[in-house]
């Protein structure tokens, strides 16, 4: 495991201007990589992976379709069909790699950008759009695919994942749990508490941090002074940094962490070092806070391109494969577009529908008043 000691980092009494101090985080961090940005296959002593041509093409297909879905959702937001969209552009490898490492009986606790993981879980992508269109707060049954609802309050779900994992362990089951969160989220107390609980109770949970370098306008330096994966050490479990734009490495590292959890050896923190190529959400304007050159430099590390290069160079996929995939992408885009436009507004009475599981007389009273009030308009012929 790549648990780095923090001893090398000399504590420095900062001068008066603490805010100007830089994080001692090297720009070329040590990370697990199995496929270089140039599409070259490399080995790592701790993370072996042997995939068939079919499996490799499958990962590529997952990433392409996820990106296509994401692009369609962004376009739909621009056209006013969605109120908001949180794009995963650039994070496809982190999500597909980790998502494909999961077993069906594992349980996923996502934040709000895990469209690729949802794809791997078999959640129909159109279901992800309801909350962004404003017709519901979720739109899928978390237990159908063991994929929990999106969580908007930053960091909360890491505790839910930990508790769920504690339950898994109590049940004597050998499934594992994975919690997704961002580099910004790593600052939340909830995340620190999740680390504490998972370590103390040896919970079978993998913390998968997608460090996409930004929390809206704040760079990772505004969240941490040590590389994030090193945090785990202080809590008593291993942390590893993986090239988040390398789908093979993400798959291998997550698989290994999940297996560790299944063996009863407790939590792992995986930091997928990646980049948010788009805006934080469609409401955000990244030109206010980040330089174009940064994005351009990350484009060279595009997760999809590098796998394509590998597939082509190794002759693992032919032209027919790519053409068919293009067609499949277009069909997916069309399906999503049509599904969103056809998505009906919810019934008004839905406001009251699930406030309580056991019912509540106050809600019943308000529902009746609301219905009578709405009916009064109908009577007036309005």
Partner 1 sequence: MATQKMSLAKALNESLRKALDTDPKVLIMGEDVGKLGGVFRITDGLQKDFGEDRVIDTPLAESGIVGTAIGLALRGYRPIVEIQFDGFVFPAYDQIVTQLAKMHARALGKIKLPVVVRIPYGGGIGAVEHHSESPEALFAHVAGLKVVSPSNASDAYWMMQQAVQSDDPIIFFEPKRRYWDKGDVETDLIPGPLHKAATVREGSDLTLVAYGPMVKVCLEAAAAAQEEGKSIEVLDLRSMSPIDFDAVQASVEKTGRLVVVHEAPVFYGSGAEIAARITERCFYHLEAPVLRVGGYHAPYPPARLEDEYLPGLDRVLDAVDRSLAY
Ligand X SMILES: Cc1ncc(C[n+]2csc(CCOP(=O)(O)OP(=O)(O)O)c2C)c(N)n1
* Chain residues in the site for ligand X (CB under 6 A): 113, 152-154, 182-185, 210, 212, 214-216, 276, 280
The CA-CA-CA angle for residues 285, 94, 114, to 5°, reads: 60
Closest separation between CB of residue 109 and partner 1, Å?
16
Examine residue 17 and tell whether it contacts partner 1 (CB under 8 A). yes
Minimum distance from CB of 15 to partner 1 (Å)?
12
Residue 363 touching partner 1 (CB under 8 A): yes
Assigned token pair, 8: 């090398």
Residue 289 touches which member of ligand X, partner 1, none, C-beta under 5-8 Å by kind = partner 1
Residue 43 vs 285, nearer CB to partner 1: 285
Contacts 24+ apart (CB under 8 A), 6-15: 6/226, 6/230, 6/233, 9/226
Contact between 79 and partner 1 (CB under 8 A)?
A: no
Q: Rounded distance, CA 144 to CA 105, Å?
A: 11
289 included as an active-site residue: yes
- Cβ burial, residue 206 (10 Å; 0-12/13-18/19+): buried
Span interacting with partner 1, options 12-20, 121-129, 268-276, 331-339, rule CB under 8 A = 12-20
Task: Find the shortest distance in angstroms from Cβ 124 to partner 1.
Answer: 18
In the complex, minimum distance from the CB of residue 67 to ligand X, in angstroms, rounded to a whole number: 16
- Residues in contact with partner 1, counted by CB under 8 A, come to a total of 48
C-alpha 363: how far from chain center? 36
296 binds partner 1 (CB under 8 A): no
Candidate list 184, 239, 267, 303; residue touching partner 1; CB under 8 A: 184
The CA distances from residue 53 to 42, 67, 253, 307, 333, in Å, are: 17, 21, 20, 12, 26
Token pair 């959640």 in the structure block, residue: 123
Catalytic residue (choose from 78, 103, 289, 341): 289
Between 168 and 228, name the residue whose CB sits nearer to ligand X.
Answer: 228
280 is catalytic: yes
Tell me whether residue 57 or residue 276 sits nearer to ligand X (CB atom): 276
Select 162 or 211, whichever has its Cβ closest to ligand X. 211
- Of the two residues 123 and 215, which places its CB atom closer to partner 1 in the complex? 215
Task: Establish if 209 lies at the interface with partner 1 (CB under 8 A).
Answer: no
Choose between 162 and 212: whose C-beta lies nearer to ligand X: 212
What does the binding site for partner 1 look like in residue numbers (CB under 8 A)?
Answer: 17, 19-20, 83-84, 130-137, 152-155, 184-185, 187-190, 215-218, 222-224, 283-285, 288-289, 345-346, 348, 350-352, 355, 360, 362-363, 366, 370, 373
* Residues forming the active site: 276, 280, 289
């Amino acid at each position: 495991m790549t648990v780095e000691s923090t001893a090398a980092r000399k504590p420095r009494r900062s001068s008066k201007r603490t805010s100007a101090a830089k994080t001692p985080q090297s720009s070329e961090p040590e990370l697990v990589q199995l496929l270089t940005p140039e599409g070259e296959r490399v080995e790592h002593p701790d993370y072996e992976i042997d995939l068939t041509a079919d499996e490799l093409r499958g990962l590529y297909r997952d990433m392409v379709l996820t990106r296509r879905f994401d692009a369609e959702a962004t376009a739909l937001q621009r056209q006013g069909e969605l109120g908001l969209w949180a794009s995963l552009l650039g994070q496809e490898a982190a999500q597909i790699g980790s998502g494909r490492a999961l077993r069906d009986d594992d349980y996923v606790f996502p934040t709000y950008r895990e469209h690729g993981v949802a794809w791997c879980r078999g959640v129909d992508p159109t279901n992800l759009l309801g909350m962004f269109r404003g017709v519901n707060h979720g739109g899928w049954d978390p237990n159908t695919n063991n994929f929990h609802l999106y969580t908007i309050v930053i960091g909360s779900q890491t505790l839910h994942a930990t508790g769920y994992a504690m339950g898994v362990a109590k049940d004597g089951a050998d499934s594992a749990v994975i919690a997704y969160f961002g580099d910004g989220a790593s600052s939340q107390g909830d995340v620190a508490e999740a680390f504490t609980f998972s370590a103390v109770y040896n919970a079978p949970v993998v913390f998968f941090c997608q460090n996409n370098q930004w929390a809206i306008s704040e760079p990772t330096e505004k969240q941490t002074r040590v590389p994030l994966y090193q945090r785990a050490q202080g809590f008593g479990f291993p942390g590893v940094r993986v090239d988040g734009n390398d789908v093979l490495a993400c798959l291998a590292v997550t698989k290994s962490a999940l297996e560790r959890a299944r063996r009863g050896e407790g939590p792992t923190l995986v930091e997928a070092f990646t980049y948010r190529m788009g805006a934080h959400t469609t409401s955000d304007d990244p030109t206010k806070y980040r330089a174009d050159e940064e994005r351009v430099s990350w484009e060279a590390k595009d997760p999809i391109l590098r796998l394509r290069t590998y597939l082509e160079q190794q002759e693992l996929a032919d032209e027919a494969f790519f053409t068919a995939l293009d067609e499949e992408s277009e069909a997916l885009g069309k399906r999503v577009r049509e599904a969103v436009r056809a998505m009906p507004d919810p019934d008004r009475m839905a406001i009251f529908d699930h406030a309580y599981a056991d019912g509540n007389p106050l809600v019943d009273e308000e529902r009746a008043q609301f219905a009578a009030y709405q009916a009064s308009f109908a009577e007036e012929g309005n």
